[in-house]
Amino acid sequence: MPALLIVLAIVVVVAVVAVVSYNRFVSQKNLIKDAWANIDTELRRRYDLIPNLIETVKGYASHEREVLENVTRARSMAASATGSPAEQAAAEGPLVAALRQLFAVVENYPDLKANQGFLQLQSELTNTEDRLQTARRFYNANVREYNQRVKQFPSVVVANAFGFKEEEFFEVEDAIRESGPPKVDFGSAGTATSSAPASSPAPPAPADEVPEIDRPAPPTPPV
């Protein structure tokens, strides 16, 4: 009889642990799903901003046709991607590269850089990038914790029994901040580029090199 009670107690403990582990897996899956929805929201917002950005740049740099077409094409491909997080990240790669190229071209157009419409779009896109990176880190942190449980004992037993598989990470670079600071170049008509160090001011001339005419007369000694 005691042996039977011990066996029943073990069975009950194992069942409780399995139920708790299963419920935690379900909660983690839902959290990952919600985190991915936040990423998707920011991606869609970026896709919505890009056409207006292209039109603004076109008003000042219409002859940069290849750059503008690359951004349009990459944006269309990324917006139509509906695969896994890894596949979505792969589709974002060409868009990030095209946006970096676009902002590099913008550096050659001071009037465009000063345009209020462009500055507003750039600010909104930067804010979207910040939120996207925050959502990405939150999503990847939840995926990392979930994947660890899928591989660790004893939760791996529950994962295998109920078909919980590892989730994919979402790795996408920042389209704006990773492009680096703008480089200022005034060309041959003006001052040297900003990358060159500023020349040091000339030291003052020593006292013995001051012309005699500029030296003050010595004071008259008192009588």
Cα separation, 201 vs 151, whole angstroms: 65
Q: What is the pLDDT of residue 175?
A: 73
Is the bond leading into 197 cis (omega within 30 degrees of zero)? no
- Per residue, the 3-state secondary structure of 103-118, as one string, reads HHHHCCCHHHHCCHHH
Give pLDDT, residue 197. 39
Structural domain boundaries of the chain? 13-184
Q: Determine the pLDDT at residue 174.
A: 77
pLDDT at residue 204, rounded to an integer: 47
In a 3-state reduction of DSSP, which class is residue 62?
coil
97-132 tens-digit pLDDT:
999 999 999 999 999 989 999 999 999 999 999 999
Looking at residue 41, its pLDDT comes to: 95
Q: Is the pTM of this model over 0.85?
A: no
Cβ–Cβ under 8 Å, residues 89 and 175: no
Tokens of 165: 């598989």
What is the pLDDT, as a whole number, of residue 62?
82
Q: Give the pair of three-digit tokens for residue 176.
A: 């704006």
Distance, in Å, from the CA atom of 98 to the CA atom of 94, rounded to the nearest integer, reads 6
- Tens of pLDDT along the chain (223 residues) come to 688 888 888 889 989 999 999 999 999 999 999 999 999 999 999 999 999 999 999 999 888 999 999 999 999 999 998 888 999 999 999 999 999 999 999 999 999 989 999 999 999 999 999 999 999 999 999 999 999 999 999 899 999 999 999 999 998 877 775 444 333 333 333 333 333 434 444 444 444 444 444 444 454 444 3
Under 8 Å between Cβ of 71 and 98: yes
Give the span between the Cα atoms of 203 and 147, in whole angstroms.
65
163 phi-psi bin (left φ>0, alpha ψ -120 to 50, beta other): left
Pseudo-torsion of CA 180, 60, 118, 98, nearest 10°?
-40
Q: What CATH homologous superfamily does 13-184 map to?
A: LemA-like domain (1.20.1440.20)
pLDDT at position 63: 86
